[in-house]
């Protein structure tokens, strides 16, 4: 569908990655917990903008690589699968600390938008993730329409999940941050899923 390889795996992978608590997720939860829904949505759009910039850069580079050297692009697909496994192993080994619970002064949504954008755009792991992630679902003959469709899928699913996190998960999020056991279980499950995804996608691209 949309000329995306392993389409349904692509959708599941996006959802799975949204469930992994990263720097952007923490920025969103902190903004919501400290200053309400407006601040949380400001952080959501800041995170989305940062991710969008990285996606454009990653796909522009990948498009050029597909045209100039298909063999290197195929190698990049295996690198992407290995990277997913490495991320999963990292989650399985990660130590989860309780949140400090410090009180943050009242700030506007624009302040949180800027903070979340800065967090996203200064995190090189985000760029590395997209460079590793997208090739797993691209065919060497993919068109610009496919690249645009992938960006729209990631952006829309991210927006829906993060908005729900702000609107419905504020109370639950604050509780989970204070309980390392619940966060540990969620993180370990995400790690297992990532390892499995990496192995599955490496096999399907053979």
The pLDDT tens digits of the residues spanning 27-63 come to 887 788 778 889 999 999 999 999 998 888 888 887 6
Specify if 180 maps to a domain.
yes
The first and second tokens of residue 157, run together, are 């699913």
Does the pLDDT at position 170 exceed 80?
A: no
Helix axes 124-133, 7-19, angle to 10 degrees: 160
pLDDT for the residue numbered 172: 62
Q: Is 73 inside a domain boundary? A: yes
Q: Which domain holds residue 36?
A: 16-204
Residue 69: inside a domain, yes or no? yes
Average pLDDT over residues 126-151: 82
H or E stretch covering 181: helix 180-204
Residue 126 resides in a domain = yes
The answer to whether residue 163 is domain-embedded is yes
The overall average pLDDT reported for the chain is 79
> Cα–Cα distances in Å, from 150 out to 91, 135, 154?
25, 11, 6
Report if residue 128 sits inside a domain: yes
Q: What average pLDDT does this structure show over 96-112? A: 67
141 or 37, higher pLDDT: 37
| Contact (CB, 8 A) for 46 and 115 | yes
Confidence of residue 161 (pLDDT cuts 50, 70, 90): very high
Residue 95 lies in a domain: yes
| Residue 135 binned pLDDT confidence (cut-offs 50, 70, 90) | confident
d(C-alpha 206, C-alpha 201), whole Å: 9
Residue 11 is assigned to a structural domain of this protein: no
When divided into structural domains, the chain yields a total of 1
Token readout for 152 is 């729209």
Average the pLDDT over 123-149 and give the result: 80
Mean pLDDT (whole number) for 117-124: 78
């Amino acid at each position: 569908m949309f000329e995306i390889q392993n389409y349904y795996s692509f959708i599941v992978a996006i959802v799975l990655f949204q469930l992994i608590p990263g720097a952007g997720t923490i920025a969103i939860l902190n903004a919501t917990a400290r200053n309400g829904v407006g601040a949380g949505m400001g952080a959501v759009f800041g995170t989305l903008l940062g991710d969008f910039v990285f996606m454009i850069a990653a796909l522009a580079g990948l498009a050029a690589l597909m045209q100039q050297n298909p063999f290197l692009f195929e190698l990049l697909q295996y690198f992407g699968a290995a990277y997913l496994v490495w991320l999963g192993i990292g989650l399985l080994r990660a130590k989860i600390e309780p949140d400090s619970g410090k009180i943050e002064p009242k700030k506007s949504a624009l302040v949180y938008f800027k903070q979340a954008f800065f967090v996203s755009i200064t995190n090189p792991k985000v760029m590395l993730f997209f460079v590793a992630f997208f090739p797993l679902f691209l065919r060497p003959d993919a068109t610009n329409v496919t690249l645009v469709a992938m960006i729209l899928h990631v952006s829309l699913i991210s927006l829906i999940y993060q908005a729900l996190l702000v609107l419905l998960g504020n109370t639950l999020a604050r509780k989970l941050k204070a309980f390392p056991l619940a966060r540990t279980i969620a993180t370990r499950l995400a790690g297992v899923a990532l390892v499995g995804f990496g192995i599955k996608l490496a096999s399907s691209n053979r």
